[in-house]
């Protein structure tokens, strides 16, 4: 499970052997949210509003790269 980024106490991961839809895992303290990479929609979980907005902003600026990493780790889902 490669860590893609860490900022403001938030850790962003993409897991290998994962499932559709393509998503990231964002973890902040006891919170974890799975966000769809292309839409930024919550797939599962929860984050406080402030941290959620930070992750959405980060994802918007890194969407193509994150999607590449997701498919590199999960080629069976391409």
What are the pLDDT tens digits along the chain (78 aa)?
799 999 999 999 999 999 999 999 999 999 999 999 999 999 999 999 999 999 999 999 999 999 999 999 999 998
**Domain boundaries, position 35:** 3-77
Dihedral-angle region of residue 8 (phi above 0 means left; psi in -120 to 50 means alpha; beta otherwise): left
Question: How many domains are there within the chain?
Answer: 1
Looking at residue 67, its pLDDT comes to 97
CA angle 66, 69, 71 (to 5 degrees): 110
Model's pTM, two decimal places?
0.94
Looking at residue 41, its pLDDT comes to 97
């Amino acid at each position: 499970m490669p860590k893609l980024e860490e900022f403001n106490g938030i850790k962003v991961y993409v897991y290998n052997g994962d499932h559709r839809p393509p998503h990231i895992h964002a973890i902040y303290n006891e919170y974890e949210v799975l966000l769809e990479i292309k839409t930024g929609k919550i797939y599962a979980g929860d984050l406080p509003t402030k941290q959620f907005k930070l992750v959405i902003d980060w994802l918007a600026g890194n969407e193509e790269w994150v999607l590449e990493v997701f498919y590199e780790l999960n080629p069976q889902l391409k």
